[in-house]
Structure 1
Amino acid sequence: MDATLERMPALYLSHGAPPLADDPVWPGQLAAWAAGLPRPKAILMVSAHWEEAPLAVGATETLPLVHDFWGFPEHYYQVRYAAPGAPELAASVRAMLRGPGTPVQDVPDRGLDHGAYVPLVEMFPDVDIPVLQISLPTLDPRKLMDIGRRLAPLRDEGVLIVGSGFFTHNLAALRHVGPGVPGWSAEFDDWGQRALEARDVDALLDFEHTSPAGRLAHPRTEHFAPLFVTLGAADAAGDLDGGRSVIDGFWMGLAKRSVQFG
């Protein structure tokens, strides 16, 4: 199937953890989602698991994965995803984002982390689409939306922009609750669904104050932050109104809501 240059959607997905691969439902949901997308020319990933300032551009050639997790069974460390590098995409990203007061750095030895490769293994298992990962240079939602807006023209060049996080993420709090979905996770997910459906970007930007249990759902912002890059890429293209939740439900008590714009 040849790559297309039609405008690509912008995605925010919940990436789970390495055991996502063994879940009876989630891998199939991700695969079905990808099957319904136009084929990307390249994929630009922004993962919750790479915070570095100034904004960093990762490897432009195939490198070993970053297995940035601990205490899992050995087979999770044997996973490989040798995606082609994307040097042309990297050059475009530098040109779009670099300017006076906004440096962009290259980190050529930084491979894809689990926030990037865990969902890609399920969505694009043929490993034949170039992938570039960039860092989160800040957790400020408004600044991240601006980055997304500046990257939005890439969508018209066949680039799939993916913000990869987790719609709720508080592992410490999960240790103190029993089975089932904690109230704070369910409440935040319900609020987030309604805010997305209403296109209430202002509420999302100020989620720590406008949402129920915002600080419990996200004691740090890093897993929600990639959503704002996606929202910026959607806003610049005028398709915030076309957003929809593609995956919902919960995994180990955390909301796995994932959304598509365009």
Structure 2
Amino acid sequence: MFDTFIFFWLFSWSLTGVFVADAVKSESVTEGESVSLNSSFTQIHRDEEIEWKFGDILIASVKNNKSKFYVESAEGRFRDRLKLDHQTGSLTIINSRTTDSGLYTVSSNKRNAFNKFKLTVYARLPVPVISRDCSSSSSCSLVCSAVNVSHVTLSWFKGNSSFSSISASDLSISLYLPLDVEYQDKNTYSCVINNPIRNQTRHLNITQLCHTCADRIHCCGFTEAVIRLALSALVGVATVAVLVYDIRSRSLQQKKSVQKYPSNSD
């Protein structure tokens, strides 16, 4: 008897047209790629209007096979990058940007139905850079780095196992992860940067970066050595320029002093 009552209660509830939305669906994509948000409506009825919102901002609608985009209300961020399916009302975002990340809601005026999507657009991952730390000469000290990154983890791997890592939050920062290895180390090392959907790997060539030598240029790498030499030269030139300026200033002051207070001749 109780089961029958529950059945009829649920049936009458469904007839009222009340719709309970699904849980928020998550979508992730790398910037520059397109992403489609499925409305879950198989067919749009006559005179039915489907609306899409980004947060609380209305950005698009479709009714009677006609699409309308309200890009100005979203400060023009979606201009020429939105497409609507006239049959299902699904929304496609072209050439996605990190600023597109957020909550999207699709609703129908006929079904009292809505679905929500949490979209995360990740920035493109750079390939990490491995360089030698020239400040240390007792061992082969290396640094793996990634510049201006967010929502990522930078890790050192020995073979397939991670043994050291550092992460970046939602703020764009530069990551540096050190590693000390023996000159004759035969293990395979790699530095990996990853976010929840992508990764980039740089393999360590120990033979190329970790070798003993007396010549600092070869130890540190030609490019870095040239930069160091150039900086040293600039510092030297600047020092000479300051000395020359100081000598000329003193000489000029002495001349002015002599002209202002000439010595009395016999």
TM band (smaller chain) = under 0.3
- Higher-strand-fraction structure: 2
Q: Which has the higher contact order (CA 8 A, sep 6+)?
A: 1
- Higher-helix-fraction structure: 1
TM superposition score normalised by structure 1: 0.26
